[in-house]
Amino acid sequence: MTEVLAVAASARRGGNSDAVLESALDVLRERGVKVETIIPRDLAISPCLSCNGCWDTGVCVQRDAMQELYVRFCEVDHVVVASPIYFTSLPGHFKVLIDRFQCFWARTYRLGRPPQPRRTGMFLCVGAMDRERYYGCARTIVKAWMSTLNMGCPVTRFYPGVDAKDDLVCNHPEYLEDARRAALELLEGA
């Protein structure tokens, strides 16, 4: 059975990025995909200490919720991220999680270990502003993070002009439909 790990990256529950995420995940569930969602805001994850402890071992010196997540991120077939833009970047809780994958970077680039099997991910992004250029930074970070998992990110979407919590659902039903199409693209190996 295909497995997807979804990241609901917003600090706000039930908002715009959650709406597009659920729309995409509905399609996956309809097609028999097993979906698990994690919410970085609700997890006890400490920031990377930049201690370089992982450089010789490939293992993070810190012990927290990440241990289980490292395993899950390696097991699943796809990772689906839905995030708002915060100051042209990603919400802090999610960025903390991303930084903790420095030990995966160390495994590959310092220790020369073989990469994880090649897989794919998807990035759905919402923001208040209308300009697509404000989303490039977040997309670059997500792609760089996924590449440490040897994961391509062939499906990315930006849904602009949504700010209030129910903006997307009330004013942009076309975004929900597009998120469904994006999920299909992921499954079909875009």
Ligand X SMILES: Cc1cc2nc3c(=O)[nH]c(=O)nc-3n(C[C@H](O)[C@H](O)[C@H](O)COP(=O)(O)O)c2cc1C
The minimum distance between CB 64 and ligand X, in angstroms, equals: 24
The minimum distance between CB 97 and ligand X, in angstroms, equals: 16
Q: What are the structure tokens assigned to 105, written together?
A: 């970077």
The answer to whether residue 163 forms part of the interface with ligand X (CB under 6 A) is yes
Beta carbon nearer to ligand X, 53 or 161: 161
The answer to whether residue 85 forms part of the interface with ligand X (CB under 6 A) is yes
Q: Judged by CB under 6 A, which of 123, 134, 145, 158 binds ligand X? A: 134
CA angle 29, 30, 31 (to 5 degrees): 85
> What backbone torsions phi and psi does residue 46 show, to the nearest 5 degrees?
-85, 150
Within the chain, how many helices (H) and strands (E) appear? 7, 5
Q: Judged by CB under 6 A, which of 97, 126, 142, 187 binds ligand X? A: 126
The minimum distance between CB 134 and ligand X, in angstroms, equals: 5
The answer to whether residue 23 forms part of the interface with ligand X (CB under 6 A) is no
Q: What are the structure tokens assigned to 18, written together?
A: 């959650």
Beta carbon nearer to ligand X, 162 or 187: 162
> What backbone torsions phi and psi does residue 3 show, to the nearest 5 degrees?
-120, 140
What amino acid occupies position 66? Answer: M
Binding track over 40-69 against ligand X, x by CB under 6 A? ------------------------------
Beta carbon nearer to ligand X, 17 or 102: 17
Enter the DSSP assignment of 89. B
What amino acid occupies position 130? Answer: D
Span interacting with ligand X, options 25-33, 101-109, 159-167, 176-184, rule CB under 6 A? 159-167
Q: DSSP labels for 12-61?
A: STTSHHHHHHHHHHHHHHHTT-EEEEE-GGGS--PPP----GGGTTSS-S
Beta carbon nearer to ligand X, 92 or 152: 92
Strand-pair partners of 81:
7, 123
Where does this chain bind ligand X (CB under 6 A)? Answer: 10, 12, 15-18, 84-88, 126-129, 134, 162-163, 165
